[in-house]
Amino acid sequence: MSEAVTPIEAAAPVSDRVREAMAISLRGCEELLPQAEWLKKLQRAEATGTPLRIKLGLDPTAPDIHIGHTVVLNKMRQLQDLGHTVIFLIGDFTSMIGDPSGRNATRPPLTREQIEANAATYYAQASLVLDPQRTEIRYNSEWSDALGARGMIQLASRYTVARMLERDDFTKRYKAGTPISVHELLYPLMQGYDSVALRSDLELGGTDQKFNLLVGRALQTEYGQEPQCVLTMPLLEGLDGVEKMSKSKGNTVGITEEPSSMFAKLLSISDDMMWRYYTLLSFRSEAQIAQLRQEVAQGRNPKEAKVLLAKEITARFHSAAAAEAAEADFELRARGGVPDDIPELALGGAPLAVGSLLKQAGLVPSTSEALRLVEQGGVRIDGTTISDRGLKLPAGVYVLQVGKRRFARVALSA
C-alpha cells in the first residue's frame, strides 16, 4: 500500500485544501500514478474552480454489489465530497466481451438480457455509497455501439499486440498454451476508450485493473487529450480470508443483505482479517483505528472491535437502529434464544418425520441434508438438540432451529 507521502514538498506553494485532497486520495490506496500529475490536477482544479472528472467503471456481471465493490466506491465518495465530478460507468458494452483480468481462461460473454437485468440494480445499490444527486451515470454502449467496424479498426490501430501481451494474465496464458480469444484483446481497448469518451482526469479500479487503466492513459494521449491519472485500491478478501470477495466463491457480504445476516457475517471474519476490513471499509480515521488496534494488543477483547466494525457497516447500508437490532439478535441467538420475528407456518401430515418437517419448513434444501444435520447435532426442537434420525413428531406447535441462525415456528396438524 502507498505510504502517506507525496511529491508535495517538491511543488510549492500547496494549499491546505490540496494537501488534504492528496492525503484523502492516498489513504488505503495501492498505487496512485503518477502522483506528481495528480497533484498538478488538484492544484489546477482549486485555481480555476473547475472540478476534476473521476471515473469508475463496473461491468454488471452479477445482479448485486457486495462490500468488496465498496472499497473503490468509498474512495469515489471521498473525492466526490471534495467537490469533484464522479462518473459511475456501467459497462453494458464491455460486459458482452467479458473482462479477462485475472483470468486463466476465457470468460464467457454475457447475453444482452443478462446484462440489462444486472444493470437494473447496479446504480441503485451504488447510490447507497455515492451521492446520487452529484453522480453522473453513463453506459459505455453510448459511444462503443457508435464506433462500428470502421471505428473499431481505427481504435485497434492505436495500440500494439506486443504491449497487449505485456499484460500478466495474457502472458501466462500465452506461455501455457491456453487459448486467448481475439475479442479478449479488445476489452482493454474498449475500457481505455471509455476514458477518451469521458475525458476523465482520474480512473479508479482494483489492483487487477491496473493494466486496463494504463491503456486509458495511453489512448487519451493518442487522441490528443491530457492523460488520466490512475488510482488502484486493494482487492478485499472474502469471509474466508483467502480468496478475493466474489459471489462465485460464496464468500461475500451483499450490501442489500438483511441487517442480521450482514452483521453476523462480518462478525465471522478472523481477528487478523478484521484490521484489513477496518482499513478498507471503515470511515473511522486512521488514528482511531490505530488506537483501537493498540487497545486490542493490550488485552481488549477483539470481539468488541469486531462488533464496532460490524455495526458501522450495517448502519451504513441500513440504519443505526437496524445495526443495534442486529447486534441484539446475534447475541440472543448466541445464547440459544429464539428471535421474535421468526417465520410461522402451518403444515399437515402429522406424525411427520423430522427430515421431512425441516425440509417443508424451508430450513434445509433436502431431507438428506436435514438428516445429516441431525446426526451432527445441528438441529434443535423447542430448544432441545435432537439426534434421532427416525424421529416423528405428532400434531402440535414446535420451534425448529437449524444451526445458529435458521428458525421457524410450525403448527403441525394431522
pLDDT digits (tens, 9 = 90+) for 124-169: 888 889 999 999 999 999 999 999 999 999 999 999 888 888 888 8
Question: What secondary structure, in 3-state letters, does the chain show?
Answer: CCCCCCHHHHCCCCCHHHHHHHHHHHCCCCEEECHHHHHHHHHHHHHHCCCCEEEEEECCCCCCCECCCHHHHHHHHHHHHCCCEEEEEECCCHHHCCCCCCCCCCCCCCCHHHHHHHHHHHHHHHCCCCCHHHEEEEECHHHHHHHHHHHHHHHHCCCCHHHHCCCHHHHHHHHHCCCCCHHHHHHHHHHHHHHHHHCCCEEEEEHHHHHHHHHHHHHHHHCCCCCCEEEEECCCECCCCCCECCHHHCCCCECCCCHHHHHHHHHCCCHHHHHHHHHHHCCCCHHHHHHHHHHHHCCCCHHHHHHHHHHHHHHHHCCHHHHHHHHHHHHHHHCCCCCCCCCEEEECCCCEEHHHHHHHCCCCCCHHHHHHHHHCCCEEECCEECCCCCCEECCEEEEEEECCCEEEEEEECC
Same domain (yes/no): 85, 134: yes
Q: Report the number of distinct structural domains present in the chain.
A: 3
- The reply to whether 243 falls in a domain is no
pLDDT of residue 100: 60
pLDDT of residue 98: 67
Q: Residues 6 or more apart from 216 whose CB is under 8 A from it?
A: 191, 192, 194, 195, 196, 200, 203, 227, 228, 230
Compute the distance between CA of residue 62 and CA of residue 64 in angstroms, rounded to an integer.
Answer: 6
Same domain (yes/no): 232, 268: no
pLDDT tier at 332, thresholds 50, 70, 90: confident
Same domain (yes/no): 56, 96: yes
Same domain (yes/no): 232, 293: no
300 is written with which cell numbers? 481488549
For residue 123, how many other CB atoms are within 10 A of its CB? 18
- CA Rg, the chain, in Å? 26
Tell whether the model's pLDDT for residue 275 goes beyond 90. yes
Same domain (yes/no): 71, 157: yes
What is the percent of the chain with per-residue pLDDT over 70, rounded to a whole number?
93
- The reply to whether 252 falls in a domain is no
Same domain (yes/no): 90, 21: yes
pLDDT of residue 397: 80
pLDDT of residue 36: 96
Tell whether the model's pLDDT for residue 49 goes beyond 90. yes
Task: Say what the pTM is.
Answer: 0.75
- The reply to whether 253 falls in a domain is no
**Section 168-176 average pLDDT:** 84
pLDDT tier at 107, thresholds 50, 70, 90: low
Condensed to tens digits (0 to 9), the pLDDT of residues 13-24 reads: 889 999 999 999
- The reply to whether 68 falls in a domain is yes
Comparing 2-11, 174-183, 230-239, 276-285, which segment has the lowest mean pLDDT?
A: 2-11
What's the mean pLDDT when you consider all of the chain? 88
Tell whether the model's pLDDT for residue 103 goes beyond 60. no
Same domain (yes/no): 356, 329: no
CATH of the domain at 174: 3.40.50.620
Residue where a domain stops, chosen among 315, 334, 353: 334
Residue where a domain stops, chosen among 334, 352, 376: 334
Same domain (yes/no): 328, 351: no
pLDDT of residue 23: 93
Selection from 127-131, 237-241, 274-278 with the highest mean pLDDT: 274-278
Same domain (yes/no): 278, 406: no
Tell whether the model's pLDDT for residue 11 goes beyond 70. no
pLDDT tier at 5, thresholds 50, 70, 90: very low
Same domain (yes/no): 115, 211: yes
- The reply to whether 251 falls in a domain is no
**Section 181-204 average pLDDT:** 93
CATH of the domain at 375: 3.10.290.10
pLDDT tier at 1, thresholds 50, 70, 90: very low
Residue where a domain stops, chosen among 334, 359, 392: 334
Same domain (yes/no): 354, 325: no
User: β-strands 379-381, 85-90: how paired?
Assistant: unpaired
Q: Which domain holds residue 114?
A: 7-237
- The reply to whether 246 falls in a domain is no
Comparing 132-136, 196-200, 355-359, 407-411, which segment has the lowest mean pLDDT?
A: 407-411
Same domain (yes/no): 52, 198: yes
